[in-house]
Amino acid sequence: MSAYFVDTWFFIAFMHQADPQHRTTKRLAHSLSDAVMVTHDAVLTELLTFFAGYGSFWRTTAAALVRNVLINPQYKVYPMTRELFQEALTLYERRLDKEYSLVDCISMRIMMQHGITHVLTNDHHFEQEGFFLVNE
């Protein structure tokens, strides 16, 4: 069974009907319904942070999505550990010529550790590191 990494972009576009990529993420979710979806605590934190200032409806909707992801057997959500944080920090320090966020570096480390090559995102930073974007 194939595994795909799920970045914050996917969750935001999937939730928000006004997002230009909403229909694309809905289609991707449907076409990948048999795949293992991988993410981590920091992506979910980033998602909640994104919607924090959008009012109670979006805060509630984002929290419900996160809770669903945490219990959904299709998803594997990796926890933030000190070791993972330090590995990501090392990658961050080694890519000073890039604009990778620490969350990106955490995602990349998980992808490297688990042999995941495809990521549901529109973030070109993943391409710079040799991963394949899935966003159409």
Candidates 53, 57, 68; CA nearest to 11 is 68
Number of helical (H) and strand (E) elements in the chain, helices listed first: 7, 5
Query: What is the Cα–Cα distance from 34 to 28, expressed in whole angstroms?
Result: 11
Give the pLDDT band (50/70/90) at residue 1.
confident
Mean pLDDT value across the chain: 96
Q: What is the pLDDT of residues 63-97, one digit of tens each?
A: 999 999 999 999 999 999 999 999 999 999 999 99
Predicted model pTM: 0.95
Instruction: For domain 3-133, give the fold.
Output: Rossmann fold (3.40.50)
What pLDDT was estimated at residue 42?
98
Q: What is the pLDDT of residues 15-57, one digit of tens each?
A: 999 999 999 999 999 999 999 999 999 999 999 999 999 999 9
**How many CB atoms are located within 10 Å of the residue 87 CB?**
18
